[in-house]
Chain A
Amino acid sequence: MTEEIGYTALVMAFLLALYGAGAAAFGAKRQRPELVESARRAMLLSWPLISVAALAIIVLLVSGRYDVEYVAKVTSSTMPPYLKVTALWGGQAGSLVFWSWLMAAFASAAGLRRWDRDRDLLPWVIVVTMVTLAFFLSLVIFVENPFRRLWLDPVGNTVTAFLRPAGARPLVPSDGQGLNPLLRHPGMIIHPPMLYLGFVSFVIPYAFAIAALVSRRTDDRWIRVTRRWTLVAWLFLSLGLLLGGRWAYDVLGWGGYWGWDPVEIAAFMPWLSGTAFLHSVMVQEKKGMLKHWNVLLIILTYALVIFGTFLTRSGVLSSVHAFAQSAIGPMFFAFIGITSIVSVRLLLDRWGALRGENQLNSLISRESLFLLNNFLFIIILAVCFLGVIFPLASELFTGQTVTVGPEWYERITGPLFAGLLLLMGVAPLSAYGSSSWRLLGRQLWVPGALSLVVPAGLLLAGVRNWAAVLGYSLAGLVALVTLYEFWRGALARHRRHGESVPLALVRLAGRNRRRYGGYIIHLGVVLMALGIIGIELFQTETQGTLARGEQLSLGQHVLVFEGLTQFGTPDGREVSRAEVSVYKDGRFVGRLFPRQDFYVAANQPMTIPGVRSTLEEDLYLLLVGWEPIAQQGATFKVFHNPLVNFVWLGGLVFILGTLVAAWPDRETAPVRRRVPAGAWASGD
């Protein structure tokens, strides 16, 4: 019964989404506001319906209904209840329902806002969000039905179907396969929802952009309305990437947090285009420029959101043939193609009316530097896209699969990221409109001169890695420029209003949250850069097989193998856990317990590191192998990861800055119509 309720709710939501899209478009074309209102209500109703379906899946998961294929695949009797609930997004069908649920929630939130000033945008926002929702619901209704049950046909074959096939009888396995062990980590429980939230939130600014195009609005209203949506999307996507990195560091056991894996890059690509968008919209708001570019960027971001989901859900990453054989892959491919073509066609139709209202006065003005920033982000995006696509293209055209590994990405993107750091150091001091090298030099010389302390200090300390010296120098420049911006602003308030400097800082940030939130984000990036450069350029490692009491050295650290224990756990793991004493500079600093968990049912090992963490460094110890009978010898791999914790610290600052920038405030800015409404006609 539960599955019937859930499936019916999904079908009803799908029909409502189709109706909503159709009624909104028809209502807008025929000037019938009652139809648009009806569509809005359909949109609002879709969320409770999908909530019913999601709840039905959770009930099935928690109650151990192993006759349902999805439940049997992602849960088992040994899993704790909270993992059974989070298994909603642990498999393909459930994650698509979860995506749809979030999409409906965001669409409803958009539908509930005050539309007084934007009535003309409403129908097309409904159309875009409901078409997107209908697409994802069609995947779960027609292809990846999470309510499909297991049956035994008359000849004894196992079949899956929602309705009982003729002559078949129900198949009820005694237990399920259980969630992929790699996904049973707190980081992995939160990571997918964060990414999905980020993905789904970006649909809203895209919907407003398309609505502005269709309804012929040339002002920057769509950008102002969606500014916060975009920041929220970016926040969640950033959080998702950070949590994914932390999960990889804690669970995957290879000593790092980012492996340039296609699944990681699938989430990174919309983040890159979204970051470019967040910068370039400021130019449109301030100068009325880059209108085409901003629409193009949000179209690109939307396409990459769908593409990212496609990459991880279609099986295409395993093999192009797997993609061709799956029904879901071609559907995604078609949807991305159709939406991109329609969006770009719409943009081209309105091209003439979207001309900029200003011109570049200087190559070092703020808007020029933002353009350069966008250029670098898009080149990095293109590199990532090539790296993900090339193995598939190679397999398709030559039959040869190839690997595009981290070294390729790092070699190409390293200088581009350095360029972005340089821009982060310079752009905050540049002016909009007219600017000159003299002016920029005057602004830059104090922090620039102070930042020379960094390379000088590094060279005096004996660092001869030019990439590290350059990277840290740029990070130093960004930090000093950013702090200088805070300082001069706070000082001005202090002198003008007599406020104490701390109070002036708080009020300064409070009065222009986006600007100063952005600066906090820049400081977060600086901290992350310290960690990334540290681990990328100065990571050391060694491996050795030790008998009990023997030691392994790495730099200042000595590790002594004390013993190994093996035991089973109630959740079906066979655990082998080593005990290792750690000495630094001859002084005992603690014990580490690296272990290998073998999930018997899934036949899958997991290497869980033992980590000694300080702000300065991580000592990251892996149990690679051991002698199972004597338990006397074990092989360890140990990494020394300098400054890696600055990645996480920087991530926290980064998130804090985004929260400051996205924090709601009263909307006071008037709608800016820089171009007469009639100008649209010239572009048609």
Chain B
Amino acid sequence: MRQPIAALLLAGFLAASEPPALVSAQAEEPTEDEVNAIAKGLYCPVCENVPLDVCPTLACKQWRETIREKLALGWNQEQIEQYFVEQYGDRVLAAPPAHGLNWAVYLIPPAVFLAGAAVLVGAMRAWRRPPVDHGMSQPAAAEDPYLDRLEEELRARG
């Protein structure tokens, strides 16, 4: 577990490590919405489960500055995300990248769904018996004597 101070220092270092001349070389300053569009998909290691675009801490503010600088340099979203991954690991991404053990989060849900569906179909088949032909349709059954009567009335109305 990285310590908050270490993360702050790292973030500060990263923010300060870009040559200012390169930043100013870009003609157009990225808008805050452009910064947030990328920050929304990133999580700093300190602020658990708070996306970067809305996190109020100093460390996250510095990360957003780093994104701004990278955008000003012409980097795209993928490059910026990769940059943060290289610095802090996969945990900065909003979802685990699909490799190694991480495949589990993408494969298990459909597998569980299919397995559950198979169990359900099996159980339903096992419980099922041939339908009884009552010769007429039956409306929804009631759950107490009153509703039995109610359903009778509804049936009578056709």
**Most A CB atoms within 10 A — which of B41, B49, B61, B147?**
B49
CB contacts (< 8 Å) of A438 on chain B: these are: 137
CB contacts (< 8 Å) of A406 on chain B: these are: 94
A607→B48 CA distance, assembly (Å): 17
Given the interface pairs A371-B124, A605-B56, the reply to whether A366 lies near B140 with Cβ below 8 Å is: yes
User: Which residues B91-148 have CB closer than 8 A to chain A?
Assistant: 91-96, 100-102, 104-105, 108-109, 112-113, 116-117, 120, 123-124, 127-129, 131-132, 134, 137-144, 146-147
Query: Which of the segments B8-16, B20-28, B149-157 contacts the partner chain?
Result: B149-157
Beta-carbon nearest neighbor of A489 in chain B: B150
CB contacts (< 8 Å) of B123 on chain A: these are: 371
Q: A397 is contacted by which of B43, B56, B57, B101 (Cβ under 8 Å)? A: B101
B140 and A430 within 8 A (CB): yes
Q: A596 is contacted by which of B35, B56, B134, B150 (Cβ under 8 Å)? A: B56
Give the number of residue pairs across the A-B interface with Cβ within 8 Å: 181
Q: B101 is contacted by which of A394, A403, A607 (Cβ under 8 Å)? A: A394
B143 and A512 within 8 A (CB): yes
Min C-beta distance of A635 to chain B, whole Å: 7
Min C-beta distance of B90 to chain A, whole Å: 5
B96 and A262 within 8 A (CB): no
B32 and A379 within 8 A (CB): no
B48 and A317 within 8 A (CB): yes
In the complex, B77 has a CB within 8 A of chain A: no
Count of A interface residues, CB-CB < 8 Å: 85
Min C-beta distance of A67 to chain B, whole Å: 29
B140 and A402 within 8 A (CB): no
Q: A379 is contacted by which of B116, B134, B144, B150 (Cβ under 8 Å)? A: B116
Given the interface pairs A371-B124, A492-B153, the reply to whether A402 lies near B96 with Cβ below 8 Å is: yes
In the complex, B36 has a CB within 8 A of chain A: yes
Given the interface pairs A253-B56, A402-B90, A488-B154, the reply to whether A368 lies near B124 with Cβ below 8 Å is: yes
Write the A537-560 contact mask toward B (1 if CB under 8 angstroms, else 0).
Answer: 000011111000000000000000
B95 and A404 within 8 A (CB): yes
A403 and B129 within 8 A (CB): no
A319 and B132 within 8 A (CB): no
In the complex, A439 has a CB within 8 A of chain B: yes
Given the interface pairs A366-B141, A543-B36, the reply to whether A390 lies near B96 with Cβ below 8 Å is: yes
A492 and B157 within 8 A (CB): yes
In the complex, A322 has a CB within 8 A of chain B: yes
Q: A386 is contacted by which of B100, B105, B140, B143 (Cβ under 8 Å)? A: B105
A464→B17 CA distance, assembly (Å): 45
CB contacts (< 8 Å) of A252 on chain B: these are: 50
CB contacts (< 8 Å) of B41 on chain A: these are: 405, 407
Q: A255 is contacted by which of B54, B129, B139 (Cβ under 8 Å)? A: B54
Given the interface pairs A363-B128, A493-B150, A545-B32, the reply to whether A403 lies near B96 with Cβ below 8 Å is: yes
Beta-carbon nearest neighbor of B154 in chain A: A492
Query: Which of the segments A238-246, A269-277, A353-361 contacts the partner chain?
Result: A353-361
A402 and B91 within 8 A (CB): yes
A492 and B150 within 8 A (CB): yes
CB contacts (< 8 Å) of A496 on chain B: these are: 153
In the complex, B78 has a CB within 8 A of chain A: no
Given the interface pairs A382-B109, A402-B90, the reply to whether A289 lies near B127 with Cβ below 8 Å is: yes
A541 and B36 within 8 A (CB): yes
A155→B31 CA distance, assembly (Å): 57
A431 and B139 within 8 A (CB): yes
CB contacts (< 8 Å) of A286 on chain B: these are: 141, 143
A439 and B49 within 8 A (CB): no
Min C-beta distance of A476 to chain B, whole Å: 21
A495→B158 CA distance, assembly (Å): 14
Instruction: With A405-B43, A434-B131, A439-B139 given, name 20 new contacts (CB 8 A).
Output: A286-B141, A359-B127, A360-B128, A361-B132, A366-B140, A371-B120, A371-B124, A383-B109, A386-B109, A391-B91, A400-B91, A403-B49, A404-B105, A412-B109, A432-B140, A443-B139, A492-B157, A493-B150, A605-B56, A637-B36
